[in-house]
Chain A
Amino acid sequence: MLIAKKISKIYHNGVVALDQVSLTVQKGEFVFLVGPSGAGKTTFLNLVIRQEVPTSGLISVNQQNLAYLKKKEIAFLRRNIGVIFQDYKLLPRKTVYENVAFALEVIEAKPRLIKPRVYEVLELVGLLNKANLFPSELSGGEQQRVCLARALVNRPLLLLADEPTGNLDPDTSWGIMELLREVNRRGTTIVMATHNREIVDLMRRRVIALDRGKLVRDTPKGGYTLET
């Protein structure tokens, strides 16, 4: 599903965000990407959706080498990847409903399919009653769920979640994790970047740890830190 071979990313300001990282994620896996702040987690996810290009190394998604994509192919690549952004990236001038519908309109889905599908995912994330509010009228956790709804609305093959529980209380966090587990159970591959030790330790999934841009650990059914 996702293959990275010795990818490095050096930003133009000289920061080495990723250093020779290699990993493979199989279809249907649920992977935690952990590491301290600044380890390069977001950078890695940005490379996967081709928002950034690696300075060196190869990365491929769904057997497509991202180095050789045309602009149009980049758009199509992104349609198969749902992303929960660390900073949500919701449109302030659009309502909750519009923010989610937007992701379907943009890929030219049939209008009569849009409405039911948007309500379906809003129900899934528990925001049906807030559909007509603007993001500024929502709490942080609610905004995060809008972002999750938008990421799911297009039934992506791969879901990238960047700190999806970052601003949530423990109960809501577990609610989100339940959702992600369900989505994963239905076949969507999930890569989730997180600092949340409790969740990682309890879920017992594959853990990939980054530190200062280097891959330092890759354990199946691991915990947040290496257990001795």
Chain B
Amino acid sequence: MKPRTFFYFLREALRGLVRNRVMTLTALGIITIGLFLFGLFFLLTANLHHLTVLAWDGIEVRVFLEPTVTNPEKIGAELAALPGVKKVKYVSKAEGAAALERMLGNQNLFLNGENPLPAAFNLSVQEAADLPTLARQAAAIPGVEEVVFKQEFVKFLEIAIRLIMIFGFALLSLTAFAVLYIIVNTIQLTVYARRQELEIMKLVGATDTFVRWPFLLEGIILGLLGAGLALLFLREGYSFLVDRIQHYRRFLPLLSGPELELKLTAVLLGMGLFFGGFGSYLSLKRYLKV
């Protein structure tokens, strides 16, 4: 496309938006609401997922060593090399005893006897690691006596994560479809209002491409503007919420930070762009048959 032609399309798109003010504002409002809802569900799913990740982070696999072991470093290295292991922490006999004493509030637990606790490794695991397999592999390392983790809780979490993934995916794709549907219908109204213009363009010899572009640009501009507005509302609303529940942070750790913001921005702008353009494309199809 020649730059000249592109600027012509852009000019026509902007003119179209300005000259059909009422339609433009209606469409913009509807697109904003749609994308706002999508963003809301996006944040919800992201937070649910975040919660499960936090829970998963709390999972520890404890690897107890045989009393005869003299080379815990080597076992530590082997453990660290297992798939799904994030971090390996060595807990010596003395440290284990101290931790136990602290937990029971009794300073003198082992005062009169030998410390019966074995040395151990605490493993933190990666998200979605296969724990049963990991435990089996760890147990197979010579010098390892026993591997312990909260099997029931892990099972529960695995199911929860899977449910949230499915639920989130379904919710998001449903909203995405609903938003696309709404956008197509809205743009269809604006196209309908200008079907005469489309017909005449075609009758004086415009190619489909030529007729289509200004409308695609209009859709894209509307989509991006709508996404921008939705983002603005979401950001204000969300940071208000995060501020409000600052106190309960320990119980309800909401996701926040530049990474989330970036993701949300990218997703919404992408959707605005794609749905605006694609929505226009679909809306136009019928009218290009002249």
Contacts and interface: CB of A to CB of B under 8 A. Distances in A.
A45 to B, nearest CB: 11
Nearest to B8: A105
B197 interface: yes
Interface of B: 4-5, 8, 19, 196-197, 199-208, 210, 290
Nearest to B16: A93
A78 B210 contact: no
A108 B5 CA distance: 7
Given A72-B207, A77-B205, 17 more contacts: A51-B290, A76-B205, A78-B203, A78-B204, A78-B205, A79-B205, A89-B196, A89-B203, A91-B196, A93-B197, A102-B201, A105-B8, A107-B204, A107-B206, A108-B210, A111-B4, A154-B205
Contacts, number: 55
Nearest to B7: A111
A103 interface: yes
Interface in A40-80: 49, 51, 71-72, 75-79
4 nearest A-B pairs in the assembled complex, by CB-CB distance? A79-B205, A78-B205, A106-B206, A103-B204
A206 interface: no
Given A51-B290, A108-B210, A111-B4, A91 B204 contact: no
B200 A91 contact: yes
Contact of A102 (B202, B204, B290): B204
Given A51-B290, A78-B205, A106-B205, A93 B210 contact: no
20 contacts: A49-B203, A75-B206, A75-B207, A75-B208, A76-B205, A78-B204, A83-B203, A83-B204, A85-B203, A89-B196, A89-B199, A102-B204, A103-B205, A105-B8, A106-B205, A106-B206, A107-B206, A108-B5, A150-B204, A154-B205
Interface in A112-151: 150
Contact of B202 (A75, A111, A150): A75
Interface residues of A, number: 25
B36 to A, nearest CB: 31
A172 to B, nearest CB: 24
Tell me which of B8, B202, B205, B206 has the highest count of chain A C-beta atoms within 10 A of its own C-beta: B205
Interface of A: 49, 51, 71-72, 75-79, 83, 85, 89-93, 102-103, 105-108, 111, 150, 154
A107 B8 CA distance: 12
Given A108-B5, A108-B210, A75 B199 contact: no
A151 to B, nearest CB: 9
Contacts of B200: 89-91, 102
Nearest to B290: A51
Contacts of B19: 93
Contacts of B202: 75, 78
Nearest to B11: A105
B210 A106 contact: yes
A71 B208 contact: yes
Given A51-B290, A91-B196, A91-B197, A106 B204 contact: yes
Contact of A106 (B4, B196, B201): B201
A108 to B, nearest CB: 6
A99 to B, nearest CB: 9
A105 B205 CA distance: 10
